[in-house]
Structure formats: structure tokens, C-alpha cells
Amino acid sequence: MTLTNKRIVITGGTSGIGLEIVHQLAIDNKVIVIGRNTTILQTLRSQYPLLETHCCDLSRPNDVLTLIDNLSAAHKSVDVLINNAAIQYSKKLTDQDYDRSTIMTEINSNFTAVCLLTHGLLPLLQRAEKGVVLNVNSGLALAPKASSAVYCATKAAMHSFSQSLNHQLKGSNVAVMQAFMPVVATPMTEGRGSNKITAQYAAENLLKGIHHNVTENDIGKVKLLRWLLRLVPSVVKRIMVNA
């Protein structure tokens, strides 16, 4: 798909990879940005006159349902839905100061919202000439680490959801794709990991995947991870535990 003159909805568009995607798409497309930071949303509207923004807390399912109603009332069709927003808590469940309230926040933001938005906007995607659902995933969906257990689980769930939905939509005008990210230099990963790719590089390669209709787009070191999982899965999984 050529990303020109398209109507594109993106979540988490106010920082990290999402913000870079907005910068790369907003000149030539009608971009609808979903985020929580009202200041950045306002700045983006000033920078890109055609941009549309919606403030929404994706950890609150009722707010997501309201967002879907608003988008459905305002638009007859959508060409691309990019489910990019995610949060990650690095604590272990065994830590004494683990906050159990973060469990639902993480699951709702990373997975429930993806399911709700995909279902809710599917009628708009089906009205497009060609629709795309692009789920931004992580290499941790393929091999989880010891910390951030809930985050890893939500990414594994997203992977399964994407594969099942692809089967459901086979033969339709809507394609389901995933972009599997390595560690990216974003506010979410600040202080964690090394040898990170930039958000700009991540966004560029994600968009190339849409352009070339790549169902599972492994970016950066995820290519190596996928290859090693085929050859020496037990070794790779042991290494990834402490990633």
C-alpha cells in the first residue's frame, strides 16, 4: 500500500515511535492521532493543519468505546489503523513493592484497547478500497524476559490475536500486519537496555512493511532473534530471560 492520501488512525502518537510515524505521514495523509498528552496533541495540530487529534486513555475501556463512536460518526472510512500505544512496567510480581493495580492498566492499554479498536473500526476499514490493521509488537512476544511479565504476555496475546484475525479476514479487503520491534530508544525504555535503535529508524521500517505488504515485519535484531529461535530455541530463550 502506498501511504499517500490515506486516512490513518494511530494510537500513542504523541511520543516515541508513534510520534515519528505522525511526522512521516502527516504531510501526505489525513492522520488521526490518539494520545493522552493534550499539550503535544495541540502542538501537532498547529504543526499539521490537516491533523485530527483525540485525547483518550486507552487503559479505560469505556473511554475507548466512546472514541470508537466519535470516529465512526466523523468518518465514513479508514484506510489504516496503527495500534502502536503500549506501556511497560518493569517490576516482577515477586517484588515486595509490586503494585497490582498496574496489571489491568497494562493489559487494557496494550491488548484490550487493540481488540476494541480493531473491532470497532473494522466497518470503516472494510469501506476503504484496501484496509490495513498494523499492530506494533515486540520481540518479547516471541521470547519473554523475566521482568515485565504482564507486558510480555500482552505482546504474545497481540501476536496470537493478529494471526487469528488474519485468518478471519482472509479474502477480504483488510490485511492484518505486525511490526516486531527490538529495544527502541523511547521514553518507555529510558534507563533500560542497550544498543537501541532510534524511533525514527523504527518508524521508517514499520512504514516500509506496510508499503510492501509484509505480514510479520521483523525489525532490527528481531530478524536475528527469529532465526535463532528456529535453530537453537532453548538457548535463545535462556538468554532472553535476562534481556
Residues with active-site annotation: 151
Q: Cβ atoms within 10 A of the Cβ of 70, count?
A: 12
Backbone angles phi, psi at 130, to 5 degrees: -145, 125
Q: Cβ atoms within 10 A of the Cβ of 230, count?
A: 8
Q: Are 97 and 146 in contact (CB under 8 A)?
A: no
Per-position b or e across 34-60, b if 16+ CB within 10 A of its CB: bbbeeebbeebeeebeebbbbebbbbb
Helix (H) / strand (E) containing 86:
none
Place of cell 478500497: 129
Extract the C-alpha cell encoding 92: 516482577
Q: What is the DSSP track for 32-75?
A: EEEES-HHHHHHHHHH-TT-EEEE--TT-HHHHHHHHHHHHHH-
In the chain, helix, strand, coil percent, each to 5?
50, 15, 35
Extract the C-alpha cell encoding 208: 516500509
How many CA within 13 A on the CB side of residue 148?
A: 24
